[in-house]
Amino acid sequence: MYCEKCGTKNEVDAKFCTTCGNPLEPLKVENEAITKIKKLPKKAKILMSVSLLVVIIAVVVLVVLLNNPVKKVEDGLKSFYDNYEKNNTTELKDIGKVLTDNKKNEDVLKQIDETSNKIITSWVKNFNTEYKDKDELNKTYDKVSNALKDVYNYFKGLEYILDSKTYNEFNSELSKLYTSKINYLYAVNAEDDYSKYSYYLRVIESDSYYKKASSFISEYVKDEIDSFLKESSDMAVFDDKTTNTDKLNAYLKQINFIKENKIRNNVDLSTTEEYKNLYNTTLSNILGSIKSVCTEKDAALDYNGCLDIIDENIGLFDKESNEYKELESLKKTYEDKKPDELVNKYLVGYKNSYASSYGGKINDVEYDNYVYFEFDGENAYRTYRLNNEYKKLITKIVVGPDWRGDLDGVIVIYNGDKELYRSEVITKANEFNPDINIDVTDVDDLKIEFQTTDETSWSENFYLYLVEPYLYK
């Protein structure tokens, strides 16, 4: 306690100054303060206590934060990026010192690792925004990529700050985002929708522009699909006069169009439900038309024609599909019904007549096989053993190109001695019905004879043909 008169320092409990003897009143001020505090309301006392506590806590927190290594690293990285200048390593040096000072504190180092990754992640995420032009995009990209590179190069070889794996991941994500965003800006400035679509396709899902790009893509694809469906449907418009063969040809044209337009104006339509549905529907229509055409040909005993149609179109279907298997079964049915060639049957007798199982060209038309008769002044014939196995004989009469103008004759077909068929008179010039379709049920020996009233013998031969003679069971 100090004397008010001479300033001498005295004991706390002294009543008089040891130098000048002046009376001392040490508790006067303190007592007045205590008295005033005691007279304060209870709420005021509580408020004072709380305020004092807050001040004390704030001071403690400030001291702790200033000495917290994790906070130092966090602040250092933020300051490094916010005030980024290339080759400025001041903050990085400070962070390196923190790492060195705490190299034996594994818990602190792990916290630094987590915090630094969060901070650097925010750089990449903040890059994923929208830009007014390429210059602004490039400027921001350069800042983020260079900041990443500087941090990585400075701490390379040390732990807990941007290791190689994490750096490569960040760099890869940043590069993908940049490519995506530059393509978006190219799309915005493109002159035509085709180019816009091409660029918008390269905008990735993680890009902030993706929603806008997807909106354009959806509309563009929708327009292409609508146009594609319209063109395709126009190929299969039928009326009451449309035959089953016409329908089949239309569906075949349609499926070729569908395949050729799998990629249309850079749009892969094959991935859309509309394309898949149309493709499958058209294949189903082709199958139905093949069956309808074969039913007609079946009625006309044209089994070969049906088999040709199946062979030509079965490749349109997947080998594991039900449609393919159905056509295979149908093919087997018609192969069982397929007629036998008359020329391959057992020959009982013949005169001035021949047969070819290899066929050839007659009057510029190609035939698979035929029987032919030559005239040299006598009738010609050919007899085959059928053993009562067949029901129909179908063939066609063709006059050879070397037939003399005034020669005439008829074709007569017998079951033994019973006449089954007689043609009209055949000459070089007259018109006659060339088609032969006769019942050969219960026929054992079938004799085909060319008869003529011309008794002149000729040194040259003249031929008459029965082309593609088939026997049906």
pLDDT tens per residue across span 336-395: 888 899 999 999 999 989 999 999 999 999 999 999 988 666 789 999 999 999 999 999
The answer to whether residue 397 is domain-embedded is yes
Phi-psi region of 363 (alpha: psi -120 to 50; beta: other; left: phi over 0): left
Range with top average pLDDT, 1-15, 85-99, 395-409: 85-99
Which residues does residue 375 pair with via DSSP β-bridges, in sequence order? 462
The answer to whether residue 39 is domain-embedded is no
Domain residues for the domain of 306 are 232-337
pLDDT at 66: 45
Confidence of residue 25 (pLDDT cuts 50, 70, 90): low
Question: What is the average pLDDT score of the chain?
Answer: 87
Confidence of residue 456 (pLDDT cuts 50, 70, 90): low
Look up the CATH number of the domain holding residue 384. 2.60.120.1060
pLDDT at 43: 65
Same domain for 326 and 398?
no
Same domain for 351 and 462?
yes
Same domain for 452 and 365?
yes
Residue 202, pLDDT > 50, answer yes
Residue 310, pLDDT > 70, answer yes
pLDDT at 11: 74
**Domains of the chain: total:** 3
Instruction: Tell me what the mean pLDDT of segment 428-451 comes to.
Output: 92
Same domain for 366 and 391?
yes
Instruction: Tell me what the mean pLDDT of segment 290-294 comes to.
Output: 96
Same domain for 255 and 328?
yes
pLDDT tens readout for residues 211-252: 999 999 999 999 999 999 999 999 999 999 999 999 999 999
Task: Look up residue 369 and give its amino acid.
Answer: N
pLDDT at 29: 44
Instruction: Tell me what the mean pLDDT of segment 184-205 comes to.
Output: 94
The answer to whether residue 26 is domain-embedded is no
Instruction: Tell me what the mean pLDDT of segment 197-223 comes to.
Output: 95
Same domain for 389 and 438?
yes
pLDDT at 396: 95
pLDDT at 62: 40
Residue 459, pLDDT > 50, answer no
Contact call for residues 463 and 363 (beta carbons, < 8 A): no
In the block, residue with structure tokens 């129909």: 392
The answer to whether residue 220 is domain-embedded is no
Residue 121, pLDDT > 70, answer yes
Contact call for residues 26 and 34 (beta carbons, < 8 A): no
More reliable by pLDDT, 137 or 5: 137
pLDDT at 304: 86
Instruction: Tell me what the mean pLDDT of segment 113-132 comes to.
Output: 93
Same domain for 361 and 435?
yes
Confidence of residue 34 (pLDDT cuts 50, 70, 90): low
Confidence of residue 3 (pLDDT cuts 50, 70, 90): confident
pLDDT at 391: 93
The answer to whether residue 7 is domain-embedded is no
Q: Of 166, 189, 212, which residue constitutes the final position of a domain?
A: 189
Contact call for residues 10 and 17 (beta carbons, < 8 A): yes
Same domain for 163 and 282?
no
Same domain for 372 and 317?
no
Own/partner pairs for 150-155, CB < 8 Å, 24+ apart? 150/86, 150/87, 150/89, 150/92, 151/77, 151/80, 151/92, 151/120, 154/89, 154/92, 154/96, 155/92, 155/95, 155/96
Confidence of residue 147 (pLDDT cuts 50, 70, 90): very high
Range with top average pLDDT, 14-18, 29-33, 109-113, 278-282: 278-282
Closest CA relative to residue 223, chosen from 279, 269, 259:
269
Note the pTM of the prediction, 2 decimals: 0.57
Same domain for 328 and 352?
no
The answer to whether residue 218 is domain-embedded is no
Percentage with pLDDT > 90 across the chain = 67
Same domain for 324 and 437?
no
Percentage with pLDDT > 70 across the chain = 86
pLDDT at 78: 94
Same domain for 291 and 381?
no
Alpha-carbon distance values, 248 to 20, 236, 255, 284 (Å): 135, 10, 11, 11
Q: How far is Cα 52 from Cα 59, in angstroms, rounded to an integer?
A: 11
pLDDT tens readout for residues 79-120: 999 999 887 889 999 999 998 899 888 899 899 989 999 999
Instruction: Tell me what the mean pLDDT of segment 2-7 comes to.
Output: 72
